[in-house]
């Protein structure tokens, strides 16, 4: 399930909310500092210089402003009536020794955790934000995917190679979007065209990707809280399509080899669809006909209610997991939201499983055996990723609960209107429109999903992330 990232603005930095968010780290028992042996090994590690030299290719990265853990870099060019897309991935396998201190600690962490007040990284920063990161104007080993696309955006061929690269530009989402809106050239000039073609290919497949917004929690001079939601820019969605394309290519390589690990997800059931429909109705943007993927793609990004709708849609993206195989491909390899087999293979600095995917794909591409340590440890990965995923989900959920409690604090003692989303005994999941908060509340007997109820807000507890209503 995609995760929202909340950021505490300076205006809220010394508030009860900030203290509550900071306390979440301790409550989750998440590892923060790296053991000395892990740091020492990371500082001593040097990756071999690849034979293939692609430093003449002007790669660029595209990430949130200020990011330093740069997993991907791209280069886009026309090729006849189609396109050539190069997608460089940080060569984390080249830096992490199997069975070493860094590897062992990474398996314990599973993924980078994004808290409201900072990150808890998967790897020591000497690797994740320096030596392995695809920072601009420095030579870096990388795993480079090269795609041939036809005029419709369909992949006609691809390959994976280990190469030396040198990124020329580090782009931010906002500045890149502004430059594209002005019609300027630059490394991202073809991204709108290629991204739109890949989104159309997604539509044809029946897929439904979800790009959730960033949130910033602010506090006004009167003590009231607000969430400033930044809806995803088109450039973010176009960029995400490059990653999705690469993950699909990685899945095809591993399926062909009969060894690998896939990211799978079942289709949402009717209960989930019904609940989402009720939420869209509550938010005034009802989904009544067509496929949910088409509905999400057609939402007006300038509409302020689109963001809560996208957040509600995250309930349709549940049940994702990992499936490993060695010897024969699994019978059900689909990732329902993508509508194709898919693997995590583009964020090895921030997600453990990507290193295994890349090791397998590189071995297949070089026509050599998959390393023994990869095959031996494959069965361990789903449990490791499930554990880290649960930790990340708890952090995300607790963060949102604290934020929503803070948002509703000024309304204590008042009566608010809400739409019932799902009945659970004598209580229900309800949706408030303004502020857009989802909560649990008691409801009168006979209440049905989709109905409106009046609730009195009794209390909020920001530290615990708790909200209490009465009928």
Question: What tens digit of pLDDT does each residue of 96-105 get?
Answer: 999 999 999 9
* Averaged pLDDT for residues 223-242: 83
Question: What tens digit of pLDDT does each residue of 114-165 get?
Answer: 877 778 999 999 999 999 999 999 999 999 999 999 999 999 999 999 999 9
**CA-to-CA distance for 289 and 303, rounded, in angstroms?**
20
For residue 450, name the pLDDT band (cuts at 50, 70, 90).
confident
**CA-to-CA distance for 178 and 200, rounded, in angstroms?**
23
**Listed range (81-90, 306-315, 339-348, 364-373) with the worst mean pLDDT:** 306-315
Q: Dihedral angle at the C-alpha atoms of 439, 440, 445, 450, nearest 10 degrees?
A: 40
According to DSSP H, which parts of 120-233 are helical?
125-126, 173-181, 191-205
Match 């549940």 to its residue by tokens.
318
Q: Determine the 3-state secondary structure of 131 from DSSP.
A: helix
**Listed range (80-94, 348-362, 414-428) with the worst mean pLDDT:** 414-428
**CA-to-CA distance for 48 and 64, rounded, in angstroms?**
29
**Over 60: is that where the pLDDT of 391 sits?**
yes
The rounded mean pLDDT for the chain is: 91
For residue 7, name the pLDDT band (cuts at 50, 70, 90).
confident
Instruction: State residue 369 phi and psi, 5-degree precision.
Output: -65, 145
**CA-to-CA distance for 88 and 408, rounded, in angstroms?**
44
Nearest to 283 by CA among 433, 421, 453: 433
* Averaged pLDDT for residues 235-250: 96
């Amino acid at each position: 399930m995609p995760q929202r990232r909340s950021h505490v603005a300076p205006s809220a930095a010394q508030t009860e909310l900030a203290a509550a968010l900071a306390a979440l780290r301790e409550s989750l028992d998440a590892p923060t500092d790296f053991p000395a042996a892990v740091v020492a090994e990371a500082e001593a590690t040097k990756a071999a210089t690849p034979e293939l030299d692609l430093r003449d290719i002007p790669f660029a990265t595209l990430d949130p402003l200020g990011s330093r853990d740069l997993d991907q870099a791209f280069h886009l060019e026309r090729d006849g009536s189609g396109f050539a897309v190069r997608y460089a991935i940080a060569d984390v396998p080249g830096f992490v020794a199997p069975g070493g201190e860094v590897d062992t600690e990474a398996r314990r962490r599973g993924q980078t955790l994004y808290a409201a007040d900072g990150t808890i990284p998967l790897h020591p920063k000497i690797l994740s934000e320096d030596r392995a990161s695809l920072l601009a104007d420095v030579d870096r080993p990388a795993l480079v995917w090269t795609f041939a696309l036809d005029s419709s955006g369909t992949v006609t061929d691809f390959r994976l190679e280990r190469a030396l690269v040198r990124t020329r530009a580090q782009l931010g989402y906002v500045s890149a979007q502004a430059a594209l809106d002005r019609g300027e050239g630059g490394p991202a000039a073809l991204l709108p065209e290629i991204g739109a073609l890949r989104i159309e290919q997604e539509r044809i497949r029946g897929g439904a990707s979800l790009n959730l917004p960033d949130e910033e929690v602010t506090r006004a001079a009167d003590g009231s809280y607000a969430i400033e939601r930044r809806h995803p820019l088109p450039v973010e969605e176009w960029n995400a399509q490059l990653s999705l394309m690469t993950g699909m290519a990685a899945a095809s390589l591993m399926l062909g080899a009969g060894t690998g690990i896939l990211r799978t997800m079942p289709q949402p059931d009717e209960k989930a669809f019904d609940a989402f429909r009720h939420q869209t109705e509550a938010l005034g943007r009802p989904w009544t006909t067509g496929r949910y993927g088409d509905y999400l793609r057609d939402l007006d990004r300038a509409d302020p209610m689109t963001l809560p709708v996208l957040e509600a849609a995250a309930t349709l993206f549940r049940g994702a997991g990992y499936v490993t195989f060695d010897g024969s491909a699994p019978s059900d390899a689909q990732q329902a939201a993508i509508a194709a087999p898919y693997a995590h293979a583009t964020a090895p600095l921030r997600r453990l499983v990507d290193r295994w995917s890349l090791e397998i794909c590189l071995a297949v591409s070089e026509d050599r055996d998959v390393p023994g340590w990869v095959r031996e440890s494959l069965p361990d990965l789903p449990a490791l990723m499930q554990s880290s995923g649960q930790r990340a989900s708890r952090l995300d959920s607790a963060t949102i609960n604290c934020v929503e409690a803070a948002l509703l604090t000024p309304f204590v003692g008042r009566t608010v209107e809400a739409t019932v989303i799902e009945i659970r005994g004598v209580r229900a999941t309800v949706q408030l429109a303004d502020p857009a908060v989802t909560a649990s509340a008691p409801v009168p007997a006979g209440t049905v999903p989709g109905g409106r109820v009046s609730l009195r807000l009794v209390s909020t507890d920001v530290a615990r992330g708790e909200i209490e209503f009465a009928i």
